[in-house]
Structure 1
Amino acid sequence: MTTLTLHATGPIEPDEVWDRFVRPARWSEWSPQISRVQATAPRIAPGVTGRVYDPLRTSVPFVVDGVSDATRWWSWQVTVGPTRLRLAHWVKPAPDGGTTTGLRISGFAPLVLGYAPLALLAIKRLVTIAT
């Protein structure tokens, strides 16, 4: 098991970044590896499940483990073949305005290390692009 933590800071306000996270329909706005999401609810909550589709129309199932609106933190698991990635996200106000977001990825080392560049690109876009 390997764990990797990534961070990104940008000008988008924390309330907007949090809204982009908690609404799966918005994930494709900022995550280039996601073309669409099917979820059992319009907003993430513990137990919400679904599938994330990539631009090649392949998909992986997910389940949301926990969500805290008070601390703007959430975690989920994505199943990739016989393995699972565990992901935890958080959103904090940046010291000079805007937002700092973080992502901790845990799982099978080749999967974590292979996904990290895409994940970093996505969280950078999350806090920097206007939608």
Structure 2
Amino acid sequence: MTLRREVGVEGSRDAGDVWDRYVRPARWPEWSPQIRSVEYGRERLAPGTSGVVHGPAGLRVPFQVVDVDEAGPVRVWAWTVKAAGVRLHLRHTVRATAGGTWTGLTMEGFAPAVLAYLPVARLALRRLMR
């Protein structure tokens, strides 16, 4: 069964800084507690590229960057990840607000995996905005 869920966080951090923390995979462990390190051949995300996220207990999660759009008032990047035979599609958005930034994540995939990842994603987004 496929499920789609969204989570969003608003904070005072500058939208440009939030975006920079997203598009530079080497920075992901700064704010994402489930990421220990990232193997990625570039400094910034680019569509059609791939890498591996290293998580706790030796977990390796291959990913493919599907889209990166920095133009316009809403910046977007999307990727697919696959772990233990489960594939998820994740779409991240960043938008400047009067008081700082709003960032959102839309997840789609195997329902139990989406539901299990929601609290982790919410925590990571809160840390991204600090």
2:92 match: 89
Please identify which structure carries the higher strand content. 2
CA distance in 1, matches of 2:5, 2:122: 11
1:59 positional shift: 1.0
Give runs of ≥4 in structure 1 deviating > 4 Å: none
TM-score, normalised to structure 2's length? 0.94
**What residue ranges of structure 1 are gaps of 5+ in the alignment?**
none
CA distance in 2, matches of 1:29, 1:94: 23
Counterpart code for 2:60: S
Counterpart code for 1:91: V
2:106 match: 104
Q: Please tell me whether the aligned partners of residues 60 and 83 of structure 2 are also in contact (alpha carbons under 8 angstroms).
A: no
2:75 match: 72
1:18-77: CA deviation from partner (whole Å, max 9, x where unpaired): 000000000000000001100121110101100001132211100000000114100000
CA RMSD of aligned residues (A): 0.9
Residue correspondence of structure 1 range 8-47 to structure 2 within 5 A: 8-47=9-48
CA distance in 2, matches of 1:20, 1:48: 18
1:119 positional shift: 0.4
CA distance in 2, matches of 1:51, 1:126: 20
**What residue ranges of structure 2 are gaps of 5+ in the alignment?**
none
CA distance in 2, matches of 1:91, 1:114: 23
Residue from 100, 111, 116 that aligns with 1:114: 116
Three-state SS of the structure 2 residue aligned to 1:88 is strand
Three-state SS of the structure 1 residue aligned to 2:16 is helix
Counterpart code for 1:123: L
CA distance in 2, matches of 1:26, 1:35: 10
1:62 match: 63
The percent of aligned pairs where both chains have the same amino acid is 46
